[in-house]
Amino acid sequence: MRRLLPLAISLVLATAAAGAASPEPQQAFEPIVVELLLNDQPETHSLVVLRDTDGTLLVRAADLPKLRLKKPARGTLTVDGERYVRLGPEMGATVLFDAAAQRAQVNLPPAAFLPTRTVALSPDLPPVTTASLGGFVNYDLYGEQVDRRSSLGTILDLGVFGPRGVVTNSLLGRYDDEQREAVRLETTWTLDFPERLATLRVGDSVSAAGAWGRSVRFGGVQFATNFSTQPTLVTAPLLYAQGEAVVPSTVDVFVNGSRVVSENVPPGPFTIDRVPIISGAGQMQIVVTDALGRQQVIAQPYYTGPTLLRAGLSEYSFEAGAIRSNYGL
């Protein structure tokens, strides 16, 4: 019994010494500073990333917007309370890591990037200035003499404008051997509402033609759509060019063989809105060219017309009054 106690104490001390001499477990992830190059883009990003034991890079989820990357549905994990994303095969990524230069070249599929959206035409509305008080006169004179018979005719427009709209009055005059008279044609007060794409008319006006009817002249009140209050507004539906680029590329859009848009796009999905088109039937081609000259060509037929309205627009006319008979007589 006396010999067993020293033996047990020796075993305990040996175990403790062996535990003290064993190396500490290594960390699963190694933090490093790398210069990240995505899909051959010219700009690089210096980031602090983690490197797994298999060499896979882990990027902070907070850095994804800076890299224009989407947050993937899988491949995320938490390290020390912070979310990271693995740039691995689950994202379709291929990584070439240069340990000497601390540089990583990463190639990702276009679907991994956030989409870019550009506008081919400027939709900016020109500033509307308040009109000062003023007036104008338009006239058209006509004279004829045949033998001893002479005749004169005139069309006269008078207008007064100001901050509250414009009042116009038109007259038709005739002077010859048989008839001497002046006839009032139209008297109207007009007020435009550019922000509502509408115009209010009080007095003489022309009704809007229906799908199965025709316009008539009437006297009364009319509140109707007036797209001309915004000269830069395009009312017809416009095309948009959409595709994907693997590397920084140039996108050329052709309409009926004529180039109408040329844009430089980064890797990922892209959309070019408001492509100018020609009314009627035609064909649009999208040509995506990368830095090496490789091209992707997409062709799509289209049709548009002046009677079509793009999404978000509507046309209407509210009228009340009486039809004018014997206009100009």
Span 131-142, pLDDT tens digits: 889 999 999 999
Q: Are 193 and 169 in contact (CB under 8 A)?
A: no
What mean pLDDT do residues 306-329 have? 87
Q: Where is 5: in which H helix or E strand?
A: helix 4-21
Q: Are 260 and 239 in contact (CB under 8 A)?
A: no
Q: Are 132 and 158 in contact (CB under 8 A)?
A: no
**Would you state the pLDDT for residue 191?**
95
SS3 for 89? helix
- Residue 286, class by beta-carbon neighbours within 10 Å (0-12 exposed, 13-18 middle, 19+ buried)? buried
Burial 80-89 (b: 16+ CB within 10 A, else e): eeeebbbbbe
pLDDT single digits (tens) 60-116: 989 998 899 988 877 788 888 888 988 888 888 888 888 888 898 999 999 889 998
**Would you state the pLDDT for residue 73?**
77
CA distance 242 to 37: 25
What mean pLDDT do residues 236-241 have? 84
**Distances in whole angstroms, Cα of residue 58 to Cα of each of 67, 123, 146, 199:** 13, 42, 97, 60
pLDDT above 70 (res 163): yes
